[in-house]
Chains A and B, each alone.
Chain A
Amino acid sequence: MRNHRDDAREHAWAYGLSLCVLLAMLSPVLRCEPVDGFPLTTYPMYSGAMGTTSRVRTLLGITASGEQELLSPALIAGDPSVILAVRTTTGASSPERRRALCTTVAGRVAADPDLRDRYVEVLFLTERYDAEAYFLGADMPEAIKIHARCPVPR
Chain B
Amino acid sequence: MPGTSLAAPSLLRSVDAWWRAPAPARRLAWVRVAVGLYTTLLVLGHAPALVRRSGFDPSRFAPVGLLTPMGAPPSPLALTITAAIALLGGLAFTLGWRYRHLAPIYALALLALTSYLNSWGHLAHAQNLAVMQALVLSLVPAADALSLDRRAGRTREGDGARYGWPLRLLMLTVIVSYGLAGLAKLTNGGWAWAKGDAIRNLVAHDAIRKVRLGAPISPLTGPLLRQPWIFSLFAAGTLVIELGAAIAMRPGKLRRAWILSAWGMHLGILATMGIAFWYPLSGVAFLSFVATERLFDPLLPSARRS
Partners in one complex: yes
Q: Which residues of A contact B (CB under 8 A)?
A: 2, 10-11, 14-15, 17-18, 21-22, 25-26, 28-29, 34, 36-52, 54, 56, 58, 70-73, 75-76, 78-79, 81-89, 91, 127, 129, 131-132, 134-136
8 contacts between A and B (CB under 8 A): A43-B125, A48-B189, A48-B202, A49-B189, A54-B204, A56-B209, A78-B55, A136-B226
- Is A22 a contact of B125 with CB atoms below 8 Å? no
A47-B185, A135-B222 as given contacts; A21 in contact with B132, CB under 8 Å = yes
The residues in B between 149 and 193 inclusive whose CB is less than 8 angstroms from any CB of A are 159, 161-162, 165, 168-169, 172-173, 176-177, 180-181, 183-185, 187-190, 192-193
Contact with A along B123-147 (1 / 0, CB 8 A): 1110110011001100110000000
Interface SS majority for chain B: helix
- Is A87 a contact of B121 with CB atoms below 8 Å? yes
**Which of B2-10, B30-38, B112-120, B295-303 forms part of the interface with chain A?**
B112-120
Q: Which residues of B contact A (CB under 8 A)?
A: 16, 19-20, 49, 52-53, 55-56, 60, 64-65, 68, 111, 114-115, 118, 120-125, 127-128, 131-132, 135-136, 139-140, 159, 161-162, 165, 168-169, 172-173, 176-177, 180-181, 183-185, 187-190, 192-193, 198-199, 201-205, 207-215, 221-222, 225-226
Starting from the known contacts A44-B184, A131-B208, 6 additional A-B residue pairs (CB-CB under 8 Å) come to A43-B125, A54-B208, A72-B214, A79-B53, A127-B212, A131-B204
Point out the residues of chain B lying under 8 angstroms from A37, CB to CB.
64-65, 68, 123
- Is A47 a contact of B208 with CB atoms below 8 Å? no
- What CA separation (Å) do A54 and B210 show in the bound complex? 12
- What CA separation (Å) do A82 and B161 show in the bound complex? 46
The distance from the CB of A99 to the nearest CB of chain B, in whole angstroms, is 15
The distance from the CB of A11 to the nearest CB of chain B, in whole angstroms, is 8
- Is A25 a contact of B198 with CB atoms below 8 Å? no
- What CA separation (Å) do A70 and B216 show in the bound complex? 12
- What CA separation (Å) do A41 and B115 show in the bound complex? 13
A47-B189, A48-B189 as given contacts; A2 in contact with B159, CB under 8 Å = yes
Point out the residues of chain A lying under 8 angstroms from B214, CB to CB.
70-73, 75-76, 85
The 10 closest A-B pairs by CB, nearest first: A43-B181, A131-B204, A82-B215, A87-B121, A47-B184, A70-B214, A47-B188, A38-B65, A47-B185, A135-B225
- Is A14 a contact of B20 with CB atoms below 8 Å? yes
Point out the residues of chain A lying under 8 angstroms from B209, CB to CB.
54, 56, 82, 86
A21-B169, A70-B214 as given contacts; A88 in contact with B125, CB under 8 Å = no
- Is B128 a contact of A44 with CB atoms below 8 Å? no
- Nearest to A136 among chain B residues (CB) is B226
Point out the residues of chain B lying under 8 angstroms from A39, CB to CB.
65, 111, 114-115, 127-128, 131-132, 135
